[in-house]
Chains A and B, each alone.
Chain A
């Protein structure tokens, strides 16, 4: 199968996933109860509820509702928030930038430190720096964000007073959420970088570089790093994707004015239009990143093609 066709397949399957997600959200929305009842005051007469149902189009056949749900969703329209009384889409747009900013900062933190530490550890394989970092990564993977975050706040914000305890206000406010959100992915990226760098180390071109008398740093950057790029790109991509999901908890703890925090508020108010709008935004981000990783893989490494046909 040629590359063009395979790329097309990847794109088509991304679209299929997206439609699937929308369908799931629609089904769950219908299971979550009657929105008309939720919107109406507690002792509203049945006639009023029926009127609201008609206004919302809930009296139409399910398949028609599904059709118009899909059409609206493509246009970014998820209805009006029951609680905030504005359109769910505009709420999402207001909160999206701070979530993206935090995710970008945390991803950069995790990728740069993870890849760097992985390369360093691999060149000290089995010796003290390597063992310290390996232990660190094991602990890093075991400390959940919802515990690390309050401890960081306690130590750095409350005791030392170096950073604000929450909110988004200047670069200092980014430091703690970045660490809390990024450190798990940092550990994952570190481990994969180290593992693949170790594998590459015994390959001929690296041995030649070493024989030529290249220093450790030079060897790592120009000989080892390029060959480890593929697995690292994959894992880094997936890490960034799961970072998006993890941000819900971190945003909550740091009162970050982002989507995750908004989502939990919306859940507490049982404000389904907002919940589903946010869910779709997260899913779109998730699918986009995964598709990019797939495409990158497809275009960057000819070996994956032959390996697959096997």
Chain B
């Protein structure tokens, strides 16, 4: 029991001492960067919902006379704002069309992993002696396979695609949620008001719902926000390795992978890469803000 806690201390998710002073006056109100980041994420979400409706050209259409046209130049079939690829497909349109599978994978996998981790962590945090130890051991075991490796194995077992990406990312990330939820639950459980509620005769479920859950929600939501960025890099990495979204269907990761074969046409690599970086950066900025706002104890990392 105590050992598992030691492992939690060493995982580095919880910095030893909060430095509240450092953050004083910062991060309370949304800064300019947070506003920009929110706008970026909003654009990404809208693009994902509308899909290729916004695209200036058909993302799948090959125009073999217009291959590898640099950004802002015109080919025989009109202007290519972000250039065209080796098959004459419009990079901007593919970027837009690729938003949906990416965000789909990210949102579904984070939701699934978070929910599973929440339930797992709550049970492991409120149960007796043996069950929690076993449960957290299982979570640890999961963490002892490097994520990319596990995802790649899964892709061999099942067929590569959106569904495999989702399964892989959720399977790989749920233990982080379980650990944080359990650590928080243990902390809240030892507080006086929970003891009081017990003394007052409240049942286990009631204590859980009305006293423990509301108090761990902040850390949980913060973690979810921060995990979104990780999930994006992960999803793109899987597509890049060819085990995620499959080739004819555009996705930021597989666009990048295709681009590495034509390095002289720099925009094929730079455009999806910049898109991923901007989105991840925005989510990190929002995540940091949410954390400072709702969970200042974790602000050090």
Q: Are B152 and A263 in contact (CB under 8 A)?
A: yes
Q: Residues of A within 8 Å of B, CB-based: how many?
A: 72
Q: Which of B1-30 contact A (CB under 8 A)?
A: 2-3, 5-7, 9-12, 15-17, 19, 22
Q: Are B269 and A199 in contact (CB under 8 A)?
A: no
Q: Are B10 and A293 in contact (CB under 8 A)?
A: yes
The 8 Å CB contact of A297, one of B9, B143, B152, is: B9
Q: Are A308 and B236 in contact (CB under 8 A)?
A: no
A275 to B152 CA separation, bound complex (whole angstroms): 9
A179 to B186 CA separation, bound complex (whole angstroms): 40
Q: Which of B213-243 contact A (CB under 8 A)?
A: 229, 233, 236-237, 240-243
* Residue A107 at the chain B interface, CB threshold 8 Å: no
* Residue B138 at the chain A interface, CB threshold 8 Å: yes
Q: Residues of B within 8 Å of A, CB-based: how many?
A: 61
* Residue B300 at the chain A interface, CB threshold 8 Å: yes
The residue of chain A having its C-beta at the shortest distance from the C-beta of B18 within the complex is: A199
The residue of chain B having its C-beta at the shortest distance from the C-beta of A141 within the complex is: B284
* Residue B203 at the chain A interface, CB threshold 8 Å: no
* Residue A151 at the chain B interface, CB threshold 8 Å: yes
Q: Within 8 Å CB of B270, what residues of A?
A: 151
Q: Within 8 Å CB of B107, what residues of A?
A: none
Bits for B251-283, please: 1 = Cβ < 8 Å to A, else 0: 001001101100110100110110011001100
Please tell me which stretch of A15-23, A43-51, A86-94, A212-220 contacts chain B, meaning at least 4 of its Cβ atoms lie within 8 angstroms of it: A15-23
| A150-B269, A282-B145 known; A272+B2 contact, CB < 8 A | no
Q: Within 8 Å CB of B188, what residues of A?
A: none
* Residue A58 at the chain B interface, CB threshold 8 Å: no
* Residue B141 at the chain A interface, CB threshold 8 Å: yes
* Residue A224 at the chain B interface, CB threshold 8 Å: no
Q: Within 8 Å CB of B264, what residues of A?
A: 158
A55 to B143 CA separation, bound complex (whole angstroms): 35
The residue of chain B having its C-beta at the shortest distance from the C-beta of A149 within the complex is: B260
A20 to B259 CA separation, bound complex (whole angstroms): 39
The 8 Å CB contact of A195, one of B15, B229, B263, is: B15
Q: Are A151 and B269 in contact (CB under 8 A)?
A: yes
Query: Chain B interface secondary structure, helix, strand, loop or mixed?
Result: helix
Q: Are B141 and A21 in contact (CB under 8 A)?
A: yes
A234 to B17 CA separation, bound complex (whole angstroms): 15
Q: How far is the CB of A272 from chain B (nearest CB, A)?
A: 7
| A144-B280, A154-B263, A195-B19 known; A17+B144 contact, CB < 8 A | yes
Bits for A233-265, please: 1 = Cβ < 8 Å to B, else 0: 011001001101110110011000000000110
Q: Are B284 and A287 in contact (CB under 8 A)?
A: no
* Residue A196 at the chain B interface, CB threshold 8 Å: yes
* Residue A6 at the chain B interface, CB threshold 8 Å: yes
A101 to B161 CA separation, bound complex (whole angstroms): 33
Q: Are B144 and A158 in contact (CB under 8 A)?
A: no
Q: How far is the CB of B130 from chain A (nearest CB, A)?
A: 14
Q: How far is the CB of B36 from chain A (nearest CB, A)?
A: 13
| A294-B10, A309-B2 known; A146+B236 contact, CB < 8 A | yes
Q: How far is the CB of B31 from chain A (nearest CB, A)?
A: 13
Q: Within 8 Å CB of B15, what residues of A?
A: 192, 195-196, 231
Q: How far is the CB of A119 from chain B (nearest CB, A)?
A: 16
The 8 Å CB contact of A267, one of B155, B240, B256, B285, is: B155
A96 to B123 CA separation, bound complex (whole angstroms): 41
Q: Are B277 and A282 in contact (CB under 8 A)?
A: no
A138 to B280 CA separation, bound complex (whole angstroms): 10
* Residue B201 at the chain A interface, CB threshold 8 Å: no
Bits for A13-32, please: 1 = Cβ < 8 Å to B, else 0: 10011101100110010011
The 8 Å CB contact of A6, one of B6, B22, B156, B281, is: B6
A276 to B120 CA separation, bound complex (whole angstroms): 28
Q: Are A290 and B6 in contact (CB under 8 A)?
A: no
* Residue A270 at the chain B interface, CB threshold 8 Å: yes
Q: Are B148 and A245 in contact (CB under 8 A)?
A: yes
* Residue A73 at the chain B interface, CB threshold 8 Å: no
Q: How far is the CB of A107 from chain B (nearest CB, A)?
A: 14
A283 to B146 CA separation, bound complex (whole angstroms): 7
A297 to B9 CA separation, bound complex (whole angstroms): 9
Bits for A264-289, please: 1 = Cβ < 8 Å to B, else 0: 10011010100110110011001100
The residue of chain A having its C-beta at the shortest distance from the C-beta of B158 within the complex is: A31
Q: Are A144 and B277 in contact (CB under 8 A)?
A: yes
The 8 Å CB contact of B280, one of A9, A142, A241, A252, is: A142
The 8 Å CB contact of A264, one of B17, B145, B152, B272, is: B152
| A21-B141, A294-B10 known; A9+B3 contact, CB < 8 A | yes
Q: Are A248 and B236 in contact (CB under 8 A)?
A: no
Q: Within 8 Å CB of A238, what residues of B?
A: 11-12
Q: How far is the CB of A82 from chain B (nearest CB, A)?
A: 12
* Residue B46 at the chain A interface, CB threshold 8 Å: no
- Which 4 residue pairs spanning A and B have beta carbons closest together? A245-B146, A147-B273, A20-B141, A142-B281
In the complex, besides A196-B15, A242-B146, A263-B152, 13 extra interface pairs with C-beta distance below 8 angstroms are A9-B3, A32-B157, A146-B236, A150-B273, A151-B269, A154-B263, A154-B269, A196-B300, A231-B15, A275-B156, A283-B149, A286-B146, A304-B9
